[in-house]
Amino acid sequence: MKTEIIKLNNVIKTYGDVKAVNGISFSVNMGEIFGLLGPNGAGKTTTIEMIVGLRKPDDGSIIINGLDNIKDIKKIKEIIGIQLQSTSLFDLLTVRELIELYGSFYSTNVDYDTLINDMLLKEKQHARVKGLSGGQKQRLAIALAIVHDPQIVFLDEPTTGLDPQARRTLWDIIIKLKNNGKTVILSTHYMEEAEVLCDRIAIVDSGKLIALDTPNNLIHDLHRENAIEFYCEDDFDISSIKAAEEVSNINEHNNYFTVYSSNITKTLFTIIQIANLNNWILRDVKTRTATLEDVFISMTGRRLGE
Amino acid sequence: MKSYLLLTKAQLKIFARNRQVLFWTFFFPVFIMLMFGAFVGKDQGIKLSTAIVDKDNTKLTKSTIKNIKESSLFNIKENLDKDTAYERLENGNVDLIIEIPKGFTQKLNDQVRSPLEITVYYNEKNYSNAQVGITLVNNIFDNISKDAQNYNPLFKITPKGIEAIKIEYIDFLVPGIVAMMIMNMNMNGVAGQIASWRERGILRRMQGTTLKASNFISAQITARLFLNGTQTFFVILLAWLVFDIQIRGSLVGLVLFTVLGILTFMSLGFIIAGIAKTPESAGPIAGFLSFPMLFLGGVFFPISNMPELLQPIVKTLPIAQLTTSLREIMTLGTSISELSFELFSLIGWMVVSFVIASFTFKWE
């Protein structure tokens, strides 16, 4: 039986003329890693900051663990831990001093030594924040977020700007949080990160929720298990391929074609046949499994990075 | 309670580790004190460099010159011929030339009733010194004339300083420097630091925890009281060691006004941090307020030197109340009860600015 630990109902936040969050509703289940996926400026950070009580929604309601997040924000702060995207810490304090300081802000604390060990910061515990690497800083930020053993942990783009190895180290830590029974709300604009980590993903774009499901369902529901990509300088006529039953969608971008098909053998054969008949030259022909990136493109018409 | 203690400790560690800031905030007042103390402190008042050209050259003129020499206000240069003296007056090495004409001695013995002319040369470029000098020379020769004619004055003036204490400029300066330091460290320091912490999201991150704003602010106040108290102590200690300044009043009063000053200027700093949209604008706003206070508020010059119209306004400034009270206590030994205007004005400033600061304080 799944328990809803967070529930957003038609939440709206406007800055001037811009609707940063435009009527978002979803629920997060206890114990899952819930992903908020979307490009920069989609409203991920604003959504997280409203849930944790740092911003007030213009409309709608947010319930956390049965408590209203405006009336009962004090009680809520005790059971949530946050790592904010734009946070910097006191540069001149050491890792251990900061953990002890943030620990003192709460009535309950985890064991500091265990926490420092778990976050792989033992060797750096007496180093000042100033001298930490990007990955170490993010691990410290997560340590500060869980110093009071919260039920729910919010991580706003924790891996942005990290090198691949530091990113993977952080993934392990996030999975460990889940294994320890915490609910994790994670925002990211990396598709593969959401696919690897999240139990469920909410795709947001321009302040709206455009899809919400498990990574597999998101891909399967669109019947895009496979994609064929190719480049053709000639004026490739896609109408005959599009008509085929097994082809669900075709995207064209600067003469790069992406064809989604449930029968890759048949579609690939058709494409090559048409090209051969018309003497069109195909280059860079590739086949691959469809990803969340494809889901995003089909829903928004844009790539994530754009 | 634990968060308050750890935040205080953290802030003190940040101060201690920010060596450069610590050094310059301490070095600046000390430097100003040493500089002003060394150059201005020793020679109190003016000393007029005066050349005397004695054309009569008798026993009597020599003793007259000796008399003039005894006046501490003149620095007499004798035995200069008229041309050398004139040249020195032109390029400013000499303020005055007194020319005693031939027949001076004879005139004193003659008792003839038409006065003999004694010429005093001065340089218009150095007008104020020359004016003082001419008045003094006038006095000296007036007295000589009176003595020679057995003149009996009806009145005699006896100047008496009511404080009966010898106060030098350094005694005046040190309390001013202490007040300046308190203003800079707290008003400018707090405004800059809080605005920068807000910009960098440090405050926002703390807002996401169960930490109370009052604990955060109390810790700031405690840490700064501690730091400023220590700095004030060392500045006064140094002034005592180098310039032998005295604290004549009660230490309790000194501590009381120092604490009041720190709290008032800190609250003003919090208000500025609230107004400033970016840390870059906090500096100029704090400067806009502190700069006039530095020059009007009696830090370097007495408020009584200000134009009459300005004085009542200046006296309402917190810096004026702080410099006046610290100065009165240190140099004159004035008791707290005699400083009730300063005490209550400063308390008023503190309460009002603290209330405004607590209403305008924003985590983000």
d(CA B313, CA B304): 12
Lowest mean pLDDT among A64-78, A100-114, B198-212, B301-315: B301-315
Say what the pLDDT of residue A222 is: 61
Q: How far is B234 from chain A (nearest CA, A)?
A: 25
Q: What are the phi and psi torsion angles at A156 (to 5°)?
A: -95, 105
Chain B, nearest residue to A105 by Cα:
B211
Lowest mean pLDDT among A75-79, A234-238, B315-319: A234-238
d(CA B303, CA B324): 9
Q: Which residues of A touch B14 (CB under 8 A)?
A: 90, 92-93
Question: What's the whole-number mean pLDDT along residues B231-240?
Answer: 88
At a CB cut-off of 8 Å and minimum separation 6, what does B332 contact? B163, B165, B248, B249
Asked if A147 contacts A96 with a C-beta cutoff of 8 angstroms, the reply is no
Chain B, nearest residue to A86 by Cα:
B201
pLDDT more than 90, % of chain A: 49
Say what the pLDDT of residue B162 is: 61
Q: Which residues of B touch A106 (CB under 8 A)?
A: 209-210
Say what the pLDDT of residue B163 is: 57
Domains located in chain B, CATH noted: 2-41+168-360 (no CATH), 48-148 (3.40.1710.10)
Which tokens in the block code for residue A221? 């529901």
Average predicted confidence (pLDDT) for chain A: 88
Average predicted confidence (pLDDT) for chain B: 84
For the four alpha carbons of B180, B181, B184 and B186, in that order, the dihedral sign comes to negative
Determine the residue type at A273.
Answer: Q
Bigger pLDDT: B360 or B80?
B360
Q: Which residues of A touch B214 (CB under 8 A)?
A: none
Q: Do B3 and A105 touch (CB under 8 A)?
A: yes
d(CA A67, CA A75): 8
Lowest mean pLDDT among A261-275, B100-114, B310-324: B100-114
Q: Do B209 and A102 touch (CB under 8 A)?
A: yes
Nearest to B200 by CA among A48, A119, A129: A129
> What confidence category does residue B76 fall into, taking pLDDT thresholds of 50, 70 and 90?
confident
Q: Which of B2, B7, B208 sits opposite A52 (nearest CB)?
A: B208
Question: What's the whole-number mean pLDDT along residues B173-199?
Answer: 89
Residue B111: Cβ-neighbour burial (10 angstroms; 0-12, 13-18, 19+)? exposed
On the question of pLDDT at A225 being above 70, the answer is: no
At a CB cut-off of 8 Å and minimum separation 6, what does B320 contact? B293, B296, B297, B298, B303, B314
Chain B, nearest residue to A103 by Cα:
B3
Q: Is B6 on the interface with A (CB under 8 A)?
A: yes
Q: How far is A295 from chain B (nearest CA, A)?
A: 34
Q: Do B202 and A54 touch (CB under 8 A)?
A: no
Say what the pLDDT of residue A305 is: 61
| Span B98-147, pLDDT tens digits | 888 887 787 777 766 677 788 888 888 777 777 878 888 888 888 888 87
> What confidence category does residue B74 fall into, taking pLDDT thresholds of 50, 70 and 90?
confident
Q: How far is A271 from chain B (nearest CA, A)?
A: 54
The SS3 of residue B9 is: helix
Question: What's the whole-number mean pLDDT along residues B233-256?
Answer: 87
CA B1 to the chain's CA centroid: 42
In B172-211, the residues whose Cβ lies within 8 Å of chain A are: 200-202, 204-211
| Span B268-287, pLDDT tens digits | 999 998 888 888 888 899 88
Task: Give B268-298 as a 3 state SS string.
Answer: HHHHHHHHCCCHHHHHHHHHHHHHHHHHHCC
Asked if B48 contacts B132 with a C-beta cutoff of 8 angstroms, the reply is yes
Q: Is B2 on the interface with A (CB under 8 A)?
A: yes
Asked if B56 contacts B117 with a C-beta cutoff of 8 angstroms, the reply is no
At a CB cut-off of 8 Å and minimum separation 6, what does A177 contact? A142, A146, A153, A184
DSSP assignments along A126-187, one per residue: TSBGGG--HHHHHHHHHHHHSTT--SEEEEESTTTT--HHHHHHHHHHHHHHHHTT-EEEEE
Q: What are the phi and psi torsion angles at A182 (to 5°)?
A: -90, 150
Count Cβ neighbours within 10 Å for each residue of B119-135 and write b for 16 or more, e otherwise.
Answer: ebbbbeebeebbebbee
d(CA A38, CA A22): 14
> What confidence category does residue B14 fall into, taking pLDDT thresholds of 50, 70 and 90?
very high
User: Which residues on adjacent β-strands are paired with residue A286?
Assistant: A229
Say what the pLDDT of residue A6 is: 94
> What confidence category does residue A2 fall into, taking pLDDT thresholds of 50, 70 and 90?
confident
On the question of pLDDT at B46 being above 70, the answer is: no
Phi-psi region of B306 (alpha: psi -120 to 50; beta: other; left: phi over 0): beta
For the four alpha carbons of B292, B294, B300 and B304, in that order, the dihedral sign comes to positive
Q: How far is A46 from chain B (nearest CA, A)?
A: 14
Say what the pLDDT of residue A227 is: 85
Question: What's the whole-number mean pLDDT along residues A180-191?
Answer: 91
d(CA A243, CA A222): 17
Q: Which of B6, B205, B206 sits opposite A100 (nearest CB)?
A: B6
The SS3 of residue B318 is: helix
d(CA B267, CA B356): 8
Nearest to B136 by CA among B42, B63, B70: B70
The SS3 of residue B123 is: coil
Q: Is B10 on the interface with A (CB under 8 A)?
A: yes
Nearest to B239 by CA among B168, B164, B333, B324: B168
Nearest to B336 by CA among B224, B273, B259: B259
d(CA B182, CA B232): 8
Q: How far is B286 from chain A (nearest CA, A)?
A: 23
On the question of pLDDT at B266 being above 60, the answer is: yes
Chain B, nearest residue to A98 by Cα:
B10
> What confidence category does residue B164 fall into, taking pLDDT thresholds of 50, 70 and 90?
low
Q: Do A101 and B7 touch (CB under 8 A)?
A: yes
Q: Which residues of B touch A53 (CB under 8 A)?
A: 208
DSSP state of A9: E
Which tokens in the block code for residue B105? 């001695």
Say what the pLDDT of residue B239 is: 87
d(CA B155, CA B170): 36
Q: Is A53 on the interface with B (CB under 8 A)?
A: yes
pLDDT more than 70, % of chain A: 96
Report the complex ipTM.
Answer: 0.80
> What confidence category does residue A63 fall into, taking pLDDT thresholds of 50, 70 and 90?
very high
Q: Do B208 and A92 touch (CB under 8 A)?
A: no
d(CA B281, CA A261): 58
Lowest mean pLDDT among A80-89, A159-168, B75-84, B115-124: B75-84
Question: What's the whole-number mean pLDDT along residues A285-297?
Answer: 81
Chain A, nearest residue to B212 by Cα:
A105
Q: Do B204 and A106 touch (CB under 8 A)?
A: no
Say what the pLDDT of residue B40 is: 65
> What confidence category does residue A223 fall into, taking pLDDT thresholds of 50, 70 and 90?
low
Half-sphere exposure of residue B355, counting CA atoms within 13 Å on the CB side? 5
Q: How far is A12 from chain B (nearest CA, A)?
A: 21
Asked if B254 contacts B247 with a C-beta cutoff of 8 angstroms, the reply is yes
Q: Where are the beta strands (DSSP E) in A43-134?
A: 59-64, 67-68, 80-83
Say what the pLDDT of residue B362 is: 79
Q: Do B208 and A105 touch (CB under 8 A)?
A: no
Q: Is B337 on the interface with A (CB under 8 A)?
A: no
The SS3 of residue B262 is: helix
pLDDT more than 90, % of chain B: 20
pLDDT more than 70, % of chain B: 94
Q: Which residues of A touch B200 (CB under 8 A)?
A: 88
In B18-57, the residues whose Cβ lies within 8 Å of chain A are: 18
